[in-house]
Structure 1
């Protein structure tokens, strides 16, 4: 089973600072945001790093409506590890039959499973992440 980000606005974050910025704007605008890791971030930072970013952003801004998607590239082992450590959204671009089996496992874990990266704005590259996030929400919201 494959899910897409749908109408949730997706932003790419690579630091706690930009995740907290996104959380503040999510709360202020009452917009659910999908925090997406950088491409192949599971191989670089691991799942616990990304889980901790979400935990701290939620702790700083409890009113934020945040979900997460850790990009595991085509590495099935990283996708499995992400699901096992509690990541609630996985991006996996590998081939079948592994993709189908991981999708079924994600469903059992209650996690979203994406087979492609959603359209995102990379907040860490923006000179003014707050203004960029606000503009992105306006542009991406239905």
Structure 2
């Protein structure tokens, strides 16, 4: 069974991040609203890179929580690699049967496979009074 993790439903809008500055800004904006940030890496971005970047962002933003989503597109091998690297949320848009197999593997390690996600917005950019979200 493929499930969407309950914490994702109470989190902020997904934000596509391309570096530490993006991740920190997203955590700061989400923390200001009392919700965890949802950081989505670039399609095909490395799982270890994304996980380490999120770790650094959490360290830089006290009280800033986040959910990290590795966007694997339809690449099952990448999804397996992300799970092996420790990803807890993997977005997989490939074939349903493959997604079910990935979900079974993910569940064994406490991770989830997401089939869809609200469209991630662009990086968060701080404005003069509050954080603005770029389309």
Matches of 1:35 and 1:21 in 2, distance apart? 11
Contact 1:37 1:71 in 2 (8 A): yes
Deviation track 1:70-107 (CA, whole Å, cap 9, x = no partner) reads 10011111000100101111000110321101011222
Cα RMSD after superposing both structures: 1.9
Contact 1:47 1:85 in 2 (8 A): yes
Matches of 2:71 and 2:95 in 1, distance apart? 15
Alpha-carbon distance, 1:116 to partner: 1.8
Alpha-carbon distance, 1:135 to partner: 5.0
Q: 2:27 aligns with which of 2, 20, 23?
A: 23
Q: 1:6 aligns with which of 6, 9, 13?
A: 9
**What is the match of residue 139 of structure 1?**
none
Q: What TM-score does the superposition give when structure 2 sets the normalisation length?
A: 0.83
* Count of residues in Structure 1 that have an aligned counterpart in Structure 2: 127
Aligned structure 1 segments of 4 or more residues deviating by more than 4 angstroms: none
Q: What TM-score does the superposition give when structure 1 sets the normalisation length?
A: 0.79
Contact 1:35 1:67 in 2 (8 A): yes
Deviation track 1:9-54 (CA, whole Å, cap 9, x = no partner) reads 211111111101111222333221111112x23xxx3111111111
Matched, 1:33 2:34: no
Structure 2 stretches lacking a partner, 5+ long: none
Equivalent residues in 2 for 1:36-115 (5 A)? 36-38=40-42, 40-41=43-44, 45-115=45-115
More helix by share: 1
